[in-house]
Structure 1
Amino acid sequence: MLSTRDLVLCALFAALLAGLGMAPPIPLGFLPVPITAQSLGVMLAGALLGAKRGGLAVLLFVLLVAAGLPLLAGGRGGVGVLMGPTGGFVLAFPVGAFVTGLLAERFATGANPLRLFGTCVVGGVAVVYAGGIPWLSLVAGLPLEKAALGSLAFVPGDLVKAGVAAVAAAAVRRAGVLPAVHA
């Protein structure tokens, strides 16, 4: 059962993801998936809140998007967006936050930015890509290899976001302003 504090933290991180959606998306032109800042929020939710709270926070965000709120980068929202080419990435966000949190609980319980970086890369990049690339292939009618190859263009930016999330999470953990990630 979630405490009032847990519920507030979930709502706060869902709002953080919505706020990161205010940064305009950067289209690449050769893929229908833009570069956005919201995957940074997925990593932060997992690294700071842990598996359960982080996953629930991001799930709340996705449910709000599905309900039609224009919270995704570029002011997009609704089931139609989730069923479009980028939908698999967004639908994988809660799983990415959960895995990031699970790994953070198991392997990065302190404020070590290198360990946190590893958890963010696995959960916030690899897991999200594992959901998004097959979906992109299916919806856009691209061969899986082409969808995967096109997605490589996003890896450098996502690694930078993982680094930012790791450093920020380490600083917040050192400050002790959030409950322990394994709580």
Structure 2
Amino acid sequence: MTTTGSPAETGTSTQAAPMRNARSSGTDIALIAAFAALISACAYVGAIPVGGAGVPITLQTFAVMLTGCLLGPVRGFLAVALYLGLGAIGLPVFAEHSSGLGVFTGPSAGYLYSFPLAALLAGFLVKYVAGRQRTRAIVVFACSMAGSVLVIHPLGIAGMKLYFDVSWHEAFTYDTPFWLGDLVKTTLTALIAAEVHRAFPRLLERDRAA
């Protein structure tokens, strides 16, 4: 014999579901905003111009990759996109306290455009490829490095080539000083992200397209 709950119980259950969804959506929005703020803060750390292009070294890439590795592809992409949007409307959240649409046509434009795509790729790899292995730092390191090598550096090089009107080889030499720093930042990203996923194994469960 099949039993069903009383109308009062059914109504309570129906009302509870939207409340849970609302709380979860609020948490997602808070995470996206918090990590956008983290990227903004990290843009100020360092900001040392290097190489022939004078593009500064900051902790931006660390924060971008950590965002993707922790929040997953959807929320990671949205957090970085929010960060770029804040800078575009005039908030001084980019390196060296710069802001505005002009930054998106400058020597570092390629790197900026690459950030949300790199977070998307790293988040996708951590969530869907690494799976339960995302609690291992070496696995997260590989996912984060893929985003850096396949997205950030190629687009950064392309942006400098177009801006300075130089050869691909010369643009690559402008990018070379960033590689050592990226290895350090990627290692830090992997160590932190692996520990967070170990502590919060369900962190990526809600990261999906609405």
Normalised-by-shorter TM-score class? over 0.9
Correspondence for 1:49? 71
Deviation of 1:29 after TM superposition, in Å, equals 4.4
Q: For each residue in 1:58-79, what CA deviation from the matched residue of structure 2 results, as whole angstroms up to 9, or x when unmatched?
A: 0100111111111112111111
AA matched with 1:162? T
Unaligned stretches of 5+ residues in structure 1: none
Q: TM-score w.r.t. structure 1 length?
A: 0.93
Which runs of structure 1 show a deviation greater than 4 angstroms over 4 or more consecutive aligned residues? none
Structure 1 CA distance for aligned equivalents of residues 149 and 163 of structure 2: 20
Q: Give SS of 2:81's match.
A: helix
Q: Please report the RMSD computed on the Cα atoms of aligned residues, expressed in angstroms.
A: 1.8
Q: TM-score w.r.t. structure 2 length?
A: 0.82
1:144 aligns with 2:189: no
Structure 1 CA distance for aligned equivalents of residues 195 and 182 of structure 2: 20
Structure 1 CA distance for aligned equivalents of residues 110 and 205 of structure 2: 27
AA matched with 2:64? V
Deviation of 1:19 after TM superposition, in Å, equals 1.0
Correspondence for 2:28? 6
Aligned CA distance change for structure 1 residues 46 and 111 (closer, same or farther; 3 Å): same
**Which of 98, 106, 131 does residue 120 from structure 2 map onto?**
98
Deviation of 1:108 after TM superposition, in Å, equals 2.2
Q: For each residue in 1:148-176, what CA deviation from the matched residue of structure 2 results, as whole angstroms up to 9, or x when unmatched?
A: 12212211100110000000001111111
Correspondence for 1:165? 189
Which runs of structure 2 are paired with 1:63-78 in the superposition (5 Å)? 63-78=85-100
AA matched with 2:171? A
1:79 aligns with 2:101: yes
Aligned CA distance change for structure 1 residues 42 and 33 (closer, same or farther; 3 Å): same
**Which of 82, 86, 89 does residue 60 from structure 1 map onto?**
82
Structure 2 CA distance for aligned equivalents of residues 153 and 118 of structure 1: 20
Structure 1 CA distance for aligned equivalents of residues 202 and 51 of structure 2: 40
| Bigger radius of gyration among the two | 2
Which runs of structure 2 are paired with 1:20-35 in the superposition (5 Å)? 20-35=42-57
Structure 1 CA distance for aligned equivalents of residues 164 and 44 of structure 2: 25
User: Conserved in 1, the CA contact under 8 Å of 2:32 and 2:78?
Assistant: yes
AA matched with 1:3? S
Unaligned stretches of 5+ residues in structure 2: 1-20
Which runs of structure 2 are paired with 1:103-182 in the superposition (5 Å)? 103-109=125-131, 110-176=134-200, 179-180=203-204
Higher strand share: 2
Deviation of 1:132 after TM superposition, in Å, equals 1.4
Aligned CA distance change for structure 1 residues 174 and 62 (closer, same or farther; 3 Å): same
Q: Give SS of 1:126's match.
A: helix
Correspondence for 2:41? 19
Aligned CA distance change for structure 1 residues 22 and 168 (closer, same or farther; 3 Å): same
Q: Give SS of 1:68's match.
A: coil
Structure 2 CA distance for aligned equivalents of residues 181 and 143 of structure 1: 44
AA matched with 1:118? A
User: Conserved in 2, the CA contact under 8 Å of 1:67 and 1:78?
Assistant: yes
Deviation of 1:130 after TM superposition, in Å, equals 1.8
